[in-house]
Structure 1
Amino acid sequence: MCSVRGAQVFFLYILVLYSYKPNRHKISTGPLLYSIMKRVNSPESPRSPPPAHSTVSTHSYQSAASTPTESSSNRSYLRLNKSTGQSPSPSPSSQSVQRSTSRSPATPTSSDTVKRSFFRFNSTPLSGGSNSTYSNSFFNPNLTMGQTGSNVKRSQSDIQTFLDKEKEKFIEKIENPIKQNGRLEDFDLIRTIGTGSFGRVLLVTHRNSTHEKIALKILDKQVVVKMKQVDHTLAEKKILQALSCPFIVKLLYTFKDSSYLYLGLEYAPGGEMFTHLRAFGRYTEDMTRFYAAQIVLAFEYLHHLGVIYRDLKPENLLFASDGYLKMTDFGFAKRVKDRTWTLCGTPEYLAPEIILSRGYNKGVDYWALGVLMYEMSAGYPPFFADQPIQIYEKIVSGRVRFPNHFTVDLKDLLKNLLQVDLTRRYGNLKPGVRDIKEHRWFRDMDFIAIYEKSIPAPFIPRTDRENYEIYEEQPLTVSSTERYPREFADF
């Protein structure tokens, strides 16, 4: 008994050692077998959410007496696997998103350290007043879902036929991936819009006649190898180039040189949901439904192809100019036939089966959908704590408390998504995603109209201003000798 107990403590220690950072973050390790100790099932009730107008520290939700800090997250295009380790200095709260005018990605300033924790600026959704960043000309709080004029009901067989054809196209592209179709010299570099452990993302324009804007993701080969992310990087490129979904960023260009790997991604000028959700405080239920429907369709598409995403969160959802979403960062995406065991993702969004190392499949994405829907509707996630291990314990316990403003239908759907028992979790049962799409919370939702983007978006981001953080620029130093030719031969 003592040896078993000692093993449990040891594995918990290893998990925390791998995953602890001051802010909400990603973790990525190899398979890790461990058990959550008995305190997971203790009768202690889950921690209450912050009261109205409360704030949090950089270590997730803590004291309600602290002052909101200026922060932003720039991990949508580029995965960050290391936090800065610095705590932000407090500053007065603001309804609008504050941004720094200059920041070196290597040494972020204390006022805008990249964070994963949400900062709840207000207790009610922003209504778009005249002095608000989100004016009434861009935000329609009276949107009613289903107002499209053509609520065409497609049979399930039609949808299945469509998805089967998409799978054929996907397999063809996977088996015949695109070759290098660009060079760094083909682009004019504008500025950095994201940084991370592996490199940076630059906003660039192509020197062709269209001068299209591209988000150029630049990965340092040496760092990718050092962080043991070669397989994830190759999988990201291979999967992205084969996808075709209106709610997923397109991979337009791919190439490499002696030092770097380059992914030219579709540019989403509206910025991250993370930034806008902080400014709103929380979304109305109709807004949550509008965005959740797009994620449901994206997951229905991916899962039919045999791909699981494993990294859903507001930072990885970008706004296009039309107000619809673009899912990005496929570094953790994987083709799975049965189950996989890799421990990866963001702590607050990890499904119980990932934490318990039981093997998992597409069900983890639907768990994450439940977390995202909760976070959009409440302004904070359903599972939060000061330390990652406390978050894991709450997730495995499965106890969820809902704010009073959640409707009965929303709570019912979330209970079925945030279901620890995989045999009862919506999306993972025999009907598949239909359990979600046909739930009464989506009663008036026309998913075909969402797919065709014929429903007006409830919020149109302003594109006449920068929606991404400002960084101090750093030169790209390309080695004269080829680095890691064997590791990246298939890129």
Structure 2
Amino acid sequence: MEPEYDNRHYGNGEGDMQMNGYMNAPPSGALPQHNHGHDHMDVPPPTNGAHLGYELTDFALLKTLGTGTFGRVHLTRFKNTEQFYAMKVLKKVEVVRLKQVEHINSEKQILSQIHFPFIVNMLCTFQDEKNLYMLLEYVVGGELFSHLRRAGRFSPDMTRFYAAEIVLAIEYLHNLDIIYRDLKPENLLLDERGHIKITDFGFAKKVEDRTWTLCGTPEYLAPEIIQSKGHGKAVDWWALGILIFEMLAGYPPFFDDNPFGIYEKILAGRITWPTHFDSAAKDLIKRLLTADRTKRLGNLRAGSEDIKRHKWFRGVDWDALVRKQVQAPIIPVCAHPGDTRNFETYPEPGDEEDATGGMDPFRNLFRDF
């Protein structure tokens, strides 16, 4: 009998928002004068901090795709080209009040450095008196979380496909000394062809060795984060083990009604294995969920190659996968580039008073925007 599992408990870490699926775009056009010669890419590369002179009036804000502690994400249309994007809007006064300035600037810096097939691309940023704006691809397929809940659980082949694309994305980030730290189905979007796009880099951090911040989603936290021992890249491989289990089972291996109960179960390390798990899947998950990070798969001498060579991934064509030449198991229903049927519906914001009175006391805190 499968346990009942429904709610997700969110931690209070470095992340800017706990957004439910938003971001990303069909392989359509770039913003004007923003191609940099990369014609082979689906979208233009990051702008590395350039705001390109855009203002909010250049865009039509459409439906809300996600909400968070101090902002929301809108489907938006660039008026000059009619292209659709996701616009992340963050209230400066709330970012400052919640002491998230450093983390928002870090997220912006990290997103400006990365460009990979399975990671959401940031196109530009800008600011006005009240808000910070991050323009991102719009990914029409919605959250993997929604597709998983609808299916109940995924087959081994489906799980393997998504896990393999995630392995490549984490490998890419780790090669740049970036820890992601928030791997979970809610932060995985599907593009129009069904491929993974990792979104929400609010917890991501560039670190060469170790960091000590408690952050993430309780069910996915590695023991070393809970114990404040200092943590590094190995936490992403632990989270991969949790994710593979959840995709195969329909629920994570450690859950409880409150975060502290979850932490106790993670530290105890006892897993009840569903009977339909095969031996290769169990072996991979056990190796990823090794409490001793010095023995955890992905954190050994061969790094991510150990994971890619594991018998559970046998038959995966990694080169074809990174080129998106492998057929995805789910092709999202999408009638047009601005289709939002794969996202939840949120109340739309009303007109808000300008608490700053037209002044911008925080501009110097966000110079990179």
Question: Match for residue 20 of structure 2?
Answer: 75
The one-letter code of the counterpart of 1:189 is L
**In terms of Rg, which structure is larger?**
1
The one-letter code of the counterpart of 1:396 is L
Question: Match for residue 282 of structure 1?
Answer: 153
Question: Match for residue 488 of structure 1?
Answer: 366
Report matched runs for 1:201-240 at 5 Å. 201-209=73-81, 211-240=82-111
Question: Match for residue 281 of structure 2?
Answer: 410
Instruction: Supply the distance in 1 between the matched residues of 2:95 and 2:51 (Cα, whole angstroms).
Output: 19
Q: Post-superposition shift, 1:207?
A: 1.4
Instruction: Supply the distance in 1 between the matched residues of 2:275 and 2:112 (Cα, whole angstroms).
Output: 43
Pair 1:313-2:188 in alignment? no
Q: Post-superposition shift, 1:28?
A: 1.1
Q: Is the 8 A contact 2:189 2:198 kept in 1?
A: yes
Q: Post-superposition shift, 1:477?
A: 5.0
The one-letter code of the counterpart of 2:264 is E
Q: Post-superposition shift, 1:442?
A: 0.6
Instruction: Supply the distance in 2 between the matched residues of 1:312 and 1:325 (Cα, whole angstroms).
Output: 12
Instruction: Supply the distance in 2 between the matched residues of 1:29 and 1:444 (Cα, whole angstroms).
Output: 38
Q: Is the 8 A contact 1:259 1:483 kept in 2?
A: no
Q: What TM-score do the two structures reach when normalised by structure 1?
A: 0.65
Pair 1:26-2:20 in alignment? no
Question: Match for residue 472 of structure 1?
Answer: 347
For structure 2, the 5+ residue unaligned runs are: 1-6, 24-44
Q: What TM-score do the two structures reach when normalised by structure 2?
A: 0.86
Q: Is the 8 A contact 2:22 2:142 kept in 1?
A: no
Report matched runs for 1:142-153 at 5 Å. none
Pair 1:303-2:174 in alignment? yes
Q: What is the CA deviation profile of residues 444-469 of structure 1, one whole-angstrom value per residue up to 9, with x for unaligned ones?
A: 00111110111111110101361112
Q: Is the 8 A contact 1:75 1:316 kept in 2?
A: yes
Q: Is the 8 A contact 2:62 2:77 kept in 1?
A: yes
Instruction: Supply the distance in 2 between the matched residues of 1:220 and 1:77 (Cα, whole angstroms).
Output: 17
Q: Post-superposition shift, 1:77?
A: 4.2
State the SS of the aligned residue for 1:423.
helix
Q: Post-superposition shift, 1:29?
A: 6.6
Tell me: CA distance 1:29–1:241, structure 2 relative to 1, closer, same or farther (3 Å).
closer
For structure 1, the 5+ residue unaligned runs are: 1-21, 31-72, 79-172
Counterpart of 1:375 (choices 226, 229, 246) is 246
Q: Post-superposition shift, 1:23?
A: 4.6
Q: What is the CA deviation profile of residues 376-402 of structure 1, one whole-angstrom value per residue up to 9, with x for unaligned ones?
A: 010000100112111101111222221
Instruction: Supply the distance in 1 between the matched residues of 2:78 and 2:274 (Cα, whole angstroms).
Output: 47
Q: Is the 8 A contact 1:205 1:212 kept in 2?
A: yes
Instruction: Supply the distance in 2 between the matched residues of 1:29 and 1:196 (Cα, whole angstroms).
Output: 13
Question: Match for residue 63 of structure 2?
Answer: 191
Tell me: CA distance 1:231–1:440, structure 2 relative to 1, closer, same or farther (3 Å).
same
Counterpart of 1:399 (choices 263, 270, 273) is 270
Q: Is the 8 A contact 1:351 1:364 kept in 2?
A: yes
Report matched runs for 1:12-411 at 5 Å. 23-28=8-13, 74-77=19-22, 177-181=48-52, 182-209=54-81, 211-411=82-282
Q: What is the CA deviation profile of residues 391-425 of structure 1, one whole-angstrom value per residue up to 9, with x for unaligned ones?
A: 10111122222101011100000000001011210
Instruction: Supply the distance in 1 between the matched residues of 2:344 and 2:201 (Cα, whole angstroms).
Output: 21
Q: Post-superposition shift, 1:74?
A: 4.7
How many residues are aligned here?
A: 332
Instruction: Supply the distance in 2 between the matched residues of 1:199 and 1:432 (Cα, whole angstroms).
Output: 37
